[in-house]
Copies of this chain bind each other. A is one copy, B any other.
């Protein structure tokens, strides 16, 4: 591609299996030619080499990787969703979950539209197509239609819309889901060896800025809560910011910092890795431990563990070696192997902790059945004490904004066992980071960073969605 390209990535958290991927490109010519690829599985199995070649003529495009949250696992539900309208095709990809999807589905169906999937993407395309009436002669005012959509549904979505030679990048008024803009650096500037005709300038948009480096782009800025950004061959242009109801703060998902995002992604001007390290430091202040070594459940808890070690002064060591070849899909031919469970995934680095008291940092505890066999493993290999320190507060409430959290009943924090969680999981002691500690670790970094002059900060407020921890949802939910 020699122009724009946007990728709206789902999360790549360890426990989530990517289930499908889709790409739509447009030539941006008049009329535009759209090319669509969709496939099941990880990106590198979902598409075949010969299919990817079909995209060569695209000058702009959007992609999507889908994880199983709601909706059946079918190719049909795979984004982007493309529909033909009176004025030509539009393609839509989104990340998130519309809180009032059910009411909106009824609305479009009452208008006489049949919905062929259970996905919010189709719902969004039909809402965009629906009103106001399309007249045959004029180009539709897509921006007005997008604004209209944003007033009908407050959250939770980041959205990419392709129409002819333009991409609209949109974040919901609460900014619940992330969306970042990057700038493609000409390859000749990346490498001294000349890049020749394959060189590219342009813009990219992504859920996570970590993906920019992989394609040779530099982080430019975030799409702001409520903002509609137009990306075309003329560059990036902020078209509008749809406001939240008076008094409501933004509500960016705090669990992006805690767990979902890759550590090298940037949100609100700060690197996720650094926030996690601060959480570890804060945890060391809130929950100090009399122990010999600090370690991590690799790999996601490592920044917090290093932060804890720095703050506490205890030495950081590795106690677990991850077996990269044990996948979710491995066939377990007998009961014995099934019973071994998580022990298959980790090897104990005995020399580093035998005879010692271990502080083991984990990023979060959801169901509690992963950490238990790890503790058992460490104790059998010679740890005299195993203190669990969790770099986030207990999860107690479901998420209705696109994150797949177990039911309230399954969450360990809501079960009787939580009373004696240390006993239940076999730990010497268990402590969590407080909600206030987490919020201060997250928001402290934003304030200390100063202002990015490219973003109007006059009205900028700081605020995060902590609903899964506190039950305070950013908008009132109708059922």
Contacts and interface: CB of A to CB of B under 8 A. Distances in A.
B318 A316 contact: no
Given A44-B327, A264-B349, A273-B321, A340 B113 contact: no
B84 A347 contact: no
A10 B310 CA distance: 39
A70 interface: no
A129 interface: yes
Nearest to A330: B44
Contacts of A478: none
- Of A81, A110, A195, most buried by chain B (CB within 10 Å of CB) is A110
Contacts of A190: 339-340, 343
A116 interface: yes
Contacts of A55: 333
Contacts of A133: 110, 112
Contacts of A196: 335
A451 interface: no
A361 interface: no
Given A340-B190, A343-B216, A81 B317 contact: no
Interface in A168-219: 187, 190-191, 193, 195-196, 198-200, 210, 213-216
Contact of A321 (B263, B343, B344, B377): B263
Given A262-B321, A273-B321, A306-B318, A131 B109 contact: no
Nearest to A196: B335
Nearest to A326: B214
Contacts of A435: none
A221 to B, nearest CB: 16
Contacts of A111: 111-112
Interface stretch (A45-53, A234-242, A250-258, A410-418): A45-53
Closest A-B pairs by Cβ, 3 of them: A83-B114, A264-B347, A198-B335
Interface of A: 1, 12, 42-44, 47-49, 52-53, 55-56, 75-76, 81-86, 90, 105-106, 109-116, 118, 122, 125-126, 128-131, 133-134, 136, 187, 190-191, 193, 195-196, 198-200, 210, 213-216, 262-264, 271, 273-274, 302-303, 306, 310, 315-318, 321, 323-327, 329-331, 333-337, 339-340, 343-344, 347-352, 377
Given A49-B331, A198-B335, A271-B351, 17 more contacts: A44-B325, A48-B331, A82-B116, A84-B114, A112-B131, A116-B122, A190-B340, A193-B339, A196-B335, A216-B336, A216-B343, A263-B347, A264-B321, A264-B348, A264-B349, A273-B352, A302-B318
